[in-house]
Structure 1
Amino acid sequence: MAYASVVEFVENYMSLVYRRQVTDISDTVWCPEWWKHAEALARLDAMWRAWEYLRKDGKTGLSVWFLDHADPHMAKLFDPKGPFKYCSVRNGHKDMLTPLPLKSPTQGLFTDPTMGDFRM
């Protein structure tokens, strides 16, 4: 592996490759404490693992990685409506987003949830 962890990958690769103006008045947001956001951590970890795999393809690996992995994930992370909505480079991390509201389904509704088998 080129990077030992997702933190190393973000600090030494992603932050250098994805240079953006991330100010309070920008349409591109970022949280300096990105690891405090479950969605950001999951997306960046997935990107790191895909990068480690695809970088070994000397022909189109990195292009595939950018188009299929990095660009879609980073668009979600940079989006002002995304996980960094209340954060800013100037004011730092704001933990204001709560988990999605849920209600548990009635027991027995799904005979086999892994197969999408609905009993209605």
Structure 2
Amino acid sequence: MASQPDKKQEAAVTTHFGSADEFVRKQLIGSYRRRVIAHGSGGGMRWKAAWWDSEEAQQRMEALWRSWEAARQDEKAGMSSWWINHCDPHMKALLSPEGPFADSKDENRIGAPLPYTAAPDGMFKDDRQPLLYTEQQKQQQEEQEGQESQGGTQPA
């Protein structure tokens, strides 16, 4: 009988962050530092501290979060690929003077994190999910399916 994965193995296959908001708050705004200026201040990038107030931004941040979670599993080129193929294009669209934050009045200083305003309570539910099977979990699943196909395990 195969043993169950221990807590450490289970943690290794769940998302690191529980929501797009947690990802933005704890990862993105500190690592993606760009000078943003208020609408009416001329050209330049725009960002809204209440980013979650835009449906487009919510969808893009959800995509960025989920793709970041997948990329962190690839120890070789995953994060490089994430920056080039996911983060940069989404952030370019979001920060564009014509993007969803075009009318934002939020600003920051050069080198400072992007401004952030907490989302309303309950807006983002914790959604930690398994990402990938560990080899042990995959083997257990295959063994269980084999037993069921041979009639060795009765359905509950």
Instruction: State the distance in 1 between where 2:66 and 2:91 align.
Output: 15
| Contact 1:6–1:44 (CA under 8 A) maintained in structure 2 | yes
Counterpart for residue 86 of structure 2: 69
Higher strand share: 1
Task: Please report how far the alpha carbon of residue 46 of structure 1 lies from its aligned counterpart in structure 2 after TM superposition.
Answer: 0.3
> What TM-score, normalized to structure 1?
0.72
1:42 to 59, 74, 88: 59
TM superposition outliers: structure 1 runs of 4+ over 3 Å: none
> Match for 1:42: what amino acid?
Q
| Contact 1:40–1:83 (CA under 8 A) maintained in structure 2 | yes
* Aligned residue-pair number: 91
Larger Rg: 2
Unmatched runs of 5 consecutive residues or more in structure 2 = 1-14, 108-114, 116-156
Unmatched runs of 5 consecutive residues or more in structure 1 = 93-120
| Contact 1:32–1:88 (CA under 8 A) maintained in structure 2 | no
Counterpart for residue 95 of structure 2: 78
- Higher RCO (CA 8 Å, separation ≥ 6 residues): 2
Instruction: State the distance in 2 between where 1:88 and 1:20 align.
Output: 15
> Match for 1:5: what amino acid?
S
How high is the sequence identity, in percent, across the aligned residues?
38
Instruction: State the distance in 1 between where 2:37 and 2:46 align.
Output: 7
CA RMSD of aligned residues (A): 1.5
Q: What are the equivalent positions in structure 2 for 1:1-120 lying under 5 Å apart?
A: 1-24=15-38, 25=41, 27-89=44-106
